[in-house]
Structure 1
Amino acid sequence: MRRTLSALCKNEPGVLAQMAQECGKYDANILSLAAGETENPEVSRIVLRIDGDDAAIDKVERYLDSLDEIIQIDDLSRKDFVDRELVMVKVAMDREQTGQLMQIFEVFRANVVGMGQKTITVELSGDQERVDGLIQMLIPYGIKSMCRSGMIVLKRGDE
């Protein structure tokens, strides 16, 4: 089962490593990990998208919640949230394919950020389904390299 955990934690060295290590202890695979400062520079938000059985993920969540460095942890899988991810993709390109690629980029509202003689690089920000959709459309053209930021999330509404 896939779950999304969002943790507010003290912005201190080692917190991220400790969280990742704990996931491994319980055989919870990290699918996506994003971390960064919040509006308060002393607090970071770490978002973990993890896969594992419910019991393992529950153990990870309970352990993380017990750490002094963790201010608050939420399992957003059971809540309504907004998610975004950034992806940059370098795709093989030849003159005959340029028009087709540009149409794909337009449909997904991806921005061209670099161009070489044989490749074109685009960026896209969106929810996971949109990012996955662009990647699937570009596979037949030959993805030369790709980098994904990891999913970032916030709860919807006033919470």
Structure 2
Amino acid sequence: MKRTISALARNEPGVLAKMATEFSRYAANILSLAAGETENPQVSRIVACIEGDNAALDEISRYLEGLETIIQVDDLSRKDFVDRELVLVKVVMDPERTAQLMQVFEVFRASVVGMGQETITVEMAGDQERVEGLIHMLKPYGIKSMCRSGMIALKRGDE
């Protein structure tokens, strides 16, 4: 089973390490992990996409809720949420296929952010499905390197 957990945590050393230790203890695989400051500089939001046994994932959520550095834990998998991920992809640039490559970028609204003699680097932000789609379309051109930010997410609506 896959889950997306969002936690508000105090900005203190070791919070991510404690979370990662707990994921490991219950044999949960971290698929994506993103952390950053919120509107309050003393609080960070940590979004973790994890995969594992249902019972273990429930235990992890309960453990996180009990940590004094954690302010709030939400299992977004059980709610309607908005997610985004940033990807940077460096692709082989073949002069004969540049027009086709540019069409792929246009379809996915990916922006060119760098160019070399043999490669072109693009960035794109979108939900995981869209990011996966871009990667799938670029593989035949030759991906030289890639970096993904990890998913960030918020609940939809006023909550």
How far, CA to CA, are the matches of 2:24 and 2:96 in structure 1? 46
Which aligned pairs between 1:99-114 and structure 2 lie closer than 5 A? 99-114=99-114
What is the match of residue 61 of structure 1?
A: 61
What is the match of residue 41 of structure 1?
A: 41
What is the match of residue 22 of structure 2?
A: 22
Secondary structure of 2:83's counterpart equals: strand
In the TM superposition, residue 5 of structure 1 has moved relative to its aligned partner by: 0.2
Secondary structure of 1:41's counterpart equals: coil
What is the match of residue 132 of structure 2?
A: 132
In the TM superposition, residue 94 of structure 1 has moved relative to its aligned partner by: 1.2
Secondary structure of 2:150's counterpart equals: coil
How far, CA to CA, are the matches of 2:43 and 2:72 in structure 1? 11
How far, CA to CA, are the matches of 2:119 and 2:52 in structure 1? 37
What is the match of residue 147 of structure 1?
A: 147
Aligned residues: 159
Secondary structure of 1:117's counterpart equals: coil
What is the match of residue 70 of structure 2?
A: 70
What is the match of residue 118 of structure 2?
A: 118
In the TM superposition, residue 21 of structure 1 has moved relative to its aligned partner by: 1.2
How far, CA to CA, are the matches of 2:48 and 2:30 in structure 1? 7
How far, CA to CA, are the matches of 2:55 and 2:91 in structure 1? 40
- Normalised to the residue count of structure 1, the TM-score between the two structures is 0.99
1:86-134 deviation line (CA, Å, top 9, x unaligned): 0000001110010010000000000000011110000000000000000
In the TM superposition, residue 53 of structure 1 has moved relative to its aligned partner by: 1.1
What is the match of residue 32 of structure 2?
A: 32
- Normalised to the residue count of structure 2, the TM-score between the two structures is 0.99
What is the match of residue 12 of structure 1?
A: 12
In the TM superposition, residue 140 of structure 1 has moved relative to its aligned partner by: 0.8
In the TM superposition, residue 22 of structure 1 has moved relative to its aligned partner by: 0.7
Secondary structure of 2:95's counterpart equals: coil
How far, CA to CA, are the matches of 2:148 and 2:100 in structure 1? 23
Q: Aligned residues: percent identity?
A: 76
Question: RMSD over aligned Cα, in angstroms?
Answer: 0.5
5+ residue gaps in structure 1?
A: none
Runs (4+) off by over 4 Å: none
How far, CA to CA, are the matches of 2:35 and 2:56 in structure 1? 22
